[in-house]
Amino acid sequence: MRLTMPSGIPEGIPLTVMPFREDAVIGTMSLATLVRLVPSPRQEEDPRVLKAASGHDRRRAELRATVQRTLKSQKGKNIPDYAEYIAAGILGKHGSAWSTPPVTLWHPGEVAAMSDELVPGSGLRTLTVAPDAMVIAVDGETQTTAWHDIYRDPEAFGLSYTELNQRVRIPFELYLGISAADARQIFYDRNVKGVDVAKNLAMSMDQRDVATRLAYAVGETLEVESDGQRMPFGKLVNAGKRQLTKSDKEVVTLSALRALIVTTVFGSKGVHYSAANVHEGDLPPSTDADEVATVVARLVSRLIGDHFPDFARRSAITAPAVMAGLGILLHRATPWCAPDDAVNYETVEHLLADVRWEREACYWEGVCATVGSSGRLNFSGGVRDSAGRVAGALLRPSSELGQKVRGVRPSTAPYQGPVDV
């Protein structure tokens, strides 16, 4: 008697997917499925593991190397932080404010099976990936490695396998049967075609950042009068641009407002935080987040309210470097300022009373602006480059730059030296 081999139901990993083009599908999968489908990139780069691996696994590692960077590059350094971020999201520490992009996978061969539509007209199908299929993460490999780290030791991240099974679905897109050259092109397009977001603009979107939250709070609570109407100042703050154009209705960018916030909190040290996250643990010693929020919101709101006509005209006061310099001055009115530097708000106003905010070279060239070949004044001096000069000019009225921004002819008074800001 001779038995025939079964040929009916294909074996493999089933995935519920929806096609979005003839050679690609999207869907979600469990974490257990991901780690079965896509081996850990760490292992695929470990010579000791590869030495003992099967020929199939070594070929798969070689195929991966044709479309991916190694973990020894910068992306490898990001994996621990990425894993912590994902774990915190699963545990609810980020609320709804967290996200991971879909992992982009490549299946170079034929799939084991593809069902008919599960619901007519829906496009939903069951795709079966063969147990020995070579599925490669073309984009999202840092995330994939972070998931592997979590799955290998969930307890280290405060999780359990039960929680991972119940809470996690990983979105993916899967490209089917395309060539290695096409997969490499997708890698290139994903990593090069996109335009990087400027660091300070990205910071202005981070709602876990203390300074960003304060900037939004000031915008929501401070009311100003513009064009005869009372409105929240936030309606006049542009959160999407680094620089305003003539057609924009807003008067200042959120990144510039944030620069004012961080220098009010930290003084001149706040310049560093213009493009870096501010966590509660970074706040000045002997303060807490509530105290800092209350004091800074009061001082910044008062400054903007007192000088709103200058903001409404989009004068020099709205330039990021000027905003940062104002914050260095305003820091001296905070309770946590060094006693030898502390002043009251009335002194701040006295120092600002004679400043000429017009966007003219005679006041601001060489402080935080330059004159181009066309004769146009350009406030291109960044916060890091120019905030200190602005603060020095505001704090020392009789200095050369202090006289310049106040429209005073240079006197013969002896130079007072650089101001410690």
Can you tell me the distance from the alpha carbon of 214 to that of 285, in angstroms, rounded to the nearest whole number?
A: 19
Can you tell me the distance from the alpha carbon of 413 to that of 273, in angstroms, rounded to the nearest whole number?
A: 36
Q: What's the distance, Cα to Cα, between the start and end of the chain in Å?
A: 95
The reported pLDDT for the residue numbered 7 is 66
Cα–Cα distances in angstroms (integers) from residue 116 to residues 27, 125, 126, 127, 188, in the given order: 16, 6, 8, 10, 33
Strand 237-238 and strand 252-253: the pairing is parallel
Which segments of 135-207 does DSSP mark as H helices, in order? 141-152, 161-167, 180-188, 199-203
Run of H or E including 76 = helix 74-90
Each residue's pLDDT, cut to its tens digit, for the chain (421 residues) gives 687 776 667 789 999 999 999 999 999 999 999 999 999 989 888 888 888 889 888 888 888 988 888 787 777 889 999 999 999 999 999 999 999 999 999 999 889 999 999 999 999 999 999 999 999 999 999 999 999 999 999 999 999 999 999 999 999 999 999 999 999 999 999 888 877 777 666 777 788 899 999 999 999 999 999 988 999 999 999 988 878 888 899 999 999 999 999 999 999 999 999 888 899 999 999 999 999 999 999 999 999 999 999 999 999 999 999 999 999 999 999 999 999 999 999 999 999 999 999 999 999 999 999 988 888 889 877 899 999 999 999 999 999 999 999 998 765 444 444 455 5
- The two three-digit tokens of residue 145, written as one number: 């490695």
Can you tell me the distance from the alpha carbon of 185 to that of 298, in angstroms, rounded to the nearest whole number?
A: 53
Q: What angle do CA 380, 331, 310 make, to 5 degrees?
A: 50
Can you tell me the distance from the alpha carbon of 233 to that of 217, in angstroms, rounded to the nearest whole number?
A: 10
Can you tell me the distance from the alpha carbon of 413 to that of 389, in angstroms, rounded to the nearest whole number?
A: 19
The reported pLDDT for the residue numbered 162 is 95
Asked if residues 12 and 129 have their Cβ atoms less than 8 Å apart, the reply is yes
DSSP secondary structure letter of residue 373: T
Q: At what angle do helices 320-331 and 254-266 cross, to 10 degrees?
A: 20
DSSP secondary structure letter of residue 5: P
- Name residues whose C-beta falls within 8 Å of residue 209's C-beta, 6 or more positions apart in sequence: 203, 277, 278, 279
Asked if residues 320 and 382 have their Cβ atoms less than 8 Å apart, the reply is yes
The reported pLDDT for the residue numbered 409 is 73
Instruction: Please choose, from the candidates 176, 206, 230, the residue with its C-alpha nearest in 3D space to the C-alpha of residue 24.
Output: 176
Asked if residues 236 and 224 have their Cβ atoms less than 8 Å apart, the reply is yes
Can you tell me the distance from the alpha carbon of 317 to that of 379, in angstroms, rounded to the nearest whole number?
A: 11
Instruction: Please choose, from the candidates 126, 144, 122, the residue with its C-alpha nearest in 3D space to the C-alpha of residue 135.
Output: 144
SS3 30: coil
- The two three-digit tokens of residue 321, written as one number: 């470097």
For 243-248, which contacts have Cβ atoms below 8 Å and span 24 or more sequence positions? 244/314, 244/318
Q: How many residues does the chain have?
A: 421
